């Protein structure tokens, strides 16, 4: 009998960092944690990126997803990056069917490409770009309970060889990267770690009310990069949380973490 795959919430780093030597050195600890994910040996990867938002859930269905350069201010060559991993159209349909069966409105999107919340970490985990990869969007309402429910609907994929990865950042306030982020990001990160150690029901309830956490709205003025956590955890709601990455980055200011749920 095979065990279901774990799920992950990863802090995916900044922009096209794997292609920029200085940034790659800064994210050396993050890179090491991402490389460890190769051990899971999935059939495919389903990414829930904080960079793709829709009114209702959409599922990437292209067999050969294009690229989405959703960052700005980086060198020109980073807008020519290619990560030519194959998509997973059959699994996209399976994913849509699971969501529909759970009562969610969902559509297939054959045009959507890989955003940097997907292609940057995947280029580190599977640099050969041979792992079938597809994405689902997060909803623009960011509702925690709804995204937990989306994760629950996706849980059967774990038994079918699909590695579900929530790709965001445990701190995401673009106006505060640097020393001014030190106190709020440390406090929120400590709350998150303590909360993820709670029993499942209490953990879900606490995360559904994440805005009561210390510095919650300072660390996530807009919670697009936190919402992927709700989906990843919803798909493994009774699982134990293991922190697999913890670092202070970006000029000593931002404390960030990643988790494995198994």
Domain parsing of the chain, residue ranges = 7-261
CA 13 from centroid of its chain's CA atoms = 11
Q: What is the pLDDT, as a whole number, of residue 1? A: 44
8 Å CB contact between 136 and 117: no
pLDDT tens digit string along 161-204?
A: 999 999 999 988 767 777 888 899 999 999 999 999 999 999 99
Per DSSP, 127 falls in state T
Question: What pLDDT does 252 receive?
Answer: 65
**Cα–Cα distance measured from residue 216 to residue 207, given in angstroms and rounded to the nearest whole number:** 11
Q: What is the DSSP letter of 42?
A: -
Between 3.40.50.300, 1.10.357.10, 1.20.210.10, 3.40.830.10, what CATH number should domain 7-261 receive?
A: 3.40.830.10
Res. 29: pLDDT tops 60: yes
- What value does the mean pLDDT take over residues 18-31? 95
CA distance 212 to 182: 19
Tens digits of residue pLDDT in 149-164: 999 999 999 999 999 9
Q: pLDDT tens, 108-143?
A: 999 999 999 999 999 999 999 999 999 999 999 999
Question: Per residue in 66-122, pLDDT tens?
Answer: 999 999 999 999 999 999 999 999 999 999 999 999 999 999 999 999 999 999 999
pLDDT tens digit string along 201-239? Answer: 999 999 999 999 999 999 999 999 999 999 999 999 999
Residue 249 has pLDDT above 90, yes or no: no
Contacts by 65-72, CB closer than 8 A, 24 or more apart:
65/112, 65/113, 65/114, 65/133, 65/134, 65/135, 66/111, 66/113, 66/114, 67/113, 67/114, 67/119, 68/112, 68/113, 68/114, 68/115, 68/116, 69/116, 70/115, 70/116, 71/15, 71/16, 71/116
Q: What is d(CA 218, CA 191) in angstroms, rounded to the nearest whole number? A: 14
Q: Specify the pLDDT at position 84.
A: 98
Q: What percent of the chain has pLDDT over 70?
A: 97
Q: What pLDDT was estimated at residue 251?
A: 62
Residue 10 pLDDT greater than 50, yes or no: yes
């Amino acid at each position: 009998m095979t065990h279901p795959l774990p799920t992950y919430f990863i802090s995916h780093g900044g922009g096209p960092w794997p292609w920029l030597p200085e940034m790659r050195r800064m994210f050396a600890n993050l890179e090491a944690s991402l490389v460890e994910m190769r051990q899971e040996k999935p059939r495919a990867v389903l990414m829930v990126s904080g960079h793709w938002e829709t009114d209702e859930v959409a599922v990437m269905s292209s067999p050969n997803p294009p690229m989405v350069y959703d960052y700005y201010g980086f060198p020109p060559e980073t807008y020519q990056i290619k990560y030519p991993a194959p998509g997973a159209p059959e699994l996209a349909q399976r994913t849509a069917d699971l969501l529909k069966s759970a009562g969610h409105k969902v559509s297939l999107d054959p045009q959507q490409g890989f955003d940097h919340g997907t292609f940057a970490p995947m280029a580190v985990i599977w640099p050969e770009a041979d792992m079938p990869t597809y994405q689902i969007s997060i909803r623009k309402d960011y509702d925690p309970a709804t995204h937990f429910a989306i994760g629950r609907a996706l849980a059967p994929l774990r038994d079918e060889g699909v590695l579900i990865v929530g790709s965001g950042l445990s701190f995401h306030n673009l106006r505060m990267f640097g020393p001014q982020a030190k106190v709020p990001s440390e406090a929120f990160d400590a709350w998150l770690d303590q909360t993820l150690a709670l029993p499942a029901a209490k953990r879900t309830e606490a995360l559904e009310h994440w805005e009561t956490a210390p510095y919650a709205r300072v660390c996530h003025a807009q919670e697009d990069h936190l919402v992927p956590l709700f989906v990843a955890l919803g798909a493994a709601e009774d699982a134990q949380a293991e922190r697999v990455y913890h670092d202070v980055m970006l000029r000593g200011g931002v404390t960030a973490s990643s988790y494995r749920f198994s």
